[in-house]
Amino acid sequence: MIKENIKDALNKQINAELYSAYLYLSMSAYFSSINLKGFASWMRVQAREEFGHAMKFFDYLQERGGRVKLTAIQEPPSDWEFPLQLFEQVYEHEQKVTAMIDELVNIAQSEKDHATNNFLQWFVAEQVEEESSADEIVQRLKLIKDTKSGLFMLDQKLGQRPAK
């Protein structure tokens, strides 16, 4: 049976992952509303990926005999000034998620819960990829600045992101 503090922390992470999916879906809707369909598609793929992360935690917690308790998901923002501001928020959000995963690892290690620690290592590696991906787009948007042709080209590229 999984320890209570680990169960509670995993339930909190499920909520955080669902919020991430909700946030990225809101960002997708925003990009659709300003006719950046490639950006919108990238965000939809990201939202599905975050929902998948939530389900990994959901399934793991149940597999370990813990009870999943779903709580209210915070309302995400729905408007941004410009794409760079939005992707800077994505990068900051992914850094926050990384810190949450790191804290879960710390809890698992302090409780000597080797199974949970092993489970979490996939997420540790995943967060390296998540932060890198968001930062790469931030850096490209900084290079593009207000160049409409650059934004158009990046929109085309982001629209090619395959679903995992």
Instruction: Please give the annotated binding residues, written as ranges.
Output: 17, 50, 53, 94, 127
> Of 159, 139, 142, which is closest to residue 31 (Cα–Cα)?
159
Contact present, 37 and 159 (Cβ < 8 Å): yes
Neighbours of 88 (CB within 10 A): 17
Task: Answer positive or negative: Cα dihedral of 112, 118, 120, 126.
Answer: positive
Q: In the block, which residue shows the tokens 């990046």? A: 154
Task: Report residue 92 CA to chain centroid gap.
Answer: 10
> And the tokens for 145?
């600045």
Annotated binding site for Fe cation: 17, 50, 53, 94, 127
> And the tokens for 124?
């540790």
